[in-house]
Amino acid sequence: MKTITLEEHYATPGFLNGPGRDFVQRATSAGNRMKEILARVRDVGEARIAEMDAAGIDVQVLSLNSPGVEQLAGDDASVLAREANDFVIDAVKRHPKRFAGFAALPIAEPLKAVDELERAVGEYGFKGALINGHHRGRYLDDPFFAPILERAEALDVPIYVHPTQPPPAVVEASYSGFSPEVSFMFANAGWGWHIETGVHVLRMVLGGVFQRFPKLQVIVGHMGEALPFMLSRTDIMAPEMTGLQRPISAYLRENVHYTFSGFNFTATFLDLLLQVGVDRIMFSADYPYGSMAQARAFLDRLPVSTADRERIAHGNAERLLRM
């Protein structure tokens, strides 16, 4: 069975010397697992491919490690985004059957982001873009970002909305007061990342993004960033209140796709499946943070039919990304 994973990360030297400095410091001061992650995220060559082969992963769609370039000012973001995309272009040229790419975009300057998306998709066949959350507290429902969304819709490519740390005021209000280690994980991978991303997608819905750009498709990871559990409840905000043409749940079922990315939890998967249907679900491992082997084992034991497993493993990604 062919497999395509969609939330698989890399890091460039420029990223690690810039917005990734905190990540490097945490990795080098932590235990062996974080040091291994730092080594793996730098590699898009033979070592990664060998690990893919061992786990039964055929294709990775590569994306720049969080926090990406989204918190940078325009010029710095443009330089690093182009460096990152060139890094992926080189990896895909060397291994065209094993890698594809989601573009990094300098969203601080939307017109430059549009140009970079055009270059990445039009010239080099990138499969869409990955945006690491907000830009200094501004979310994609802000009309400031409309040129990016409009161009993604015109190019018929999705935007993967990836977690990032909530704005500082939210971190202070909601996640502080514990040990530094607990507060950091609470605000990030242990909880805050996922709630932050779910809020981001709901802001896009409530802000009318999918009414203005009805063909735009968004991807979120981690079995939906808590959205499937709350999906039916969101409709308490009815169209009479929101001014939207349809219930919120309709947009979450028709404009959003969902990947695993490290959430190898059967109960969570079943909730997602029951809420959005198999055609909206796609495989991922969240490498190097998640294990490719564990992700593949989870895929193989899903309580679904063979045909549905094939859709999740590769068919839905091939359709959405035109692979």
**Residues that are catalytic:** 286
Cis (ω within 30 of 0) for the bond into 163? no
174's tokens: 């909601």
Distance CA 232, CA 45 (A): 43
Nearest to 289 by CA among 28, 10, 2: 10
Is the Cβ–Cβ distance between 34 and 285 less than 8 Å?
no
Q: CB atoms < 10 A from the CB of 206, how many?
A: 17
Is the Cβ–Cβ distance between 175 and 241 less than 8 Å?
no
Nearest to 186 by CA among 169, 206, 166, 205: 166
Is the Cβ–Cβ distance between 30 and 307 less than 8 Å?
no
Q: CB atoms < 10 A from the CB of 141, how many?
A: 19
Is the Cβ–Cβ distance between 186 and 122 less than 8 Å?
no
Distance CA 99, CA 95 (A): 6
Nearest to 318 by CA among 263, 257, 276, 264: 257
Distance CA 245, CA 277 (A): 22
4's tokens: 């395509």
Distance CA 18, CA 24 (A): 10
How buried is residue 252: exposed, middle or buried, by Cβ count under 10 Å (0-12/13-18/19+)? Answer: buried
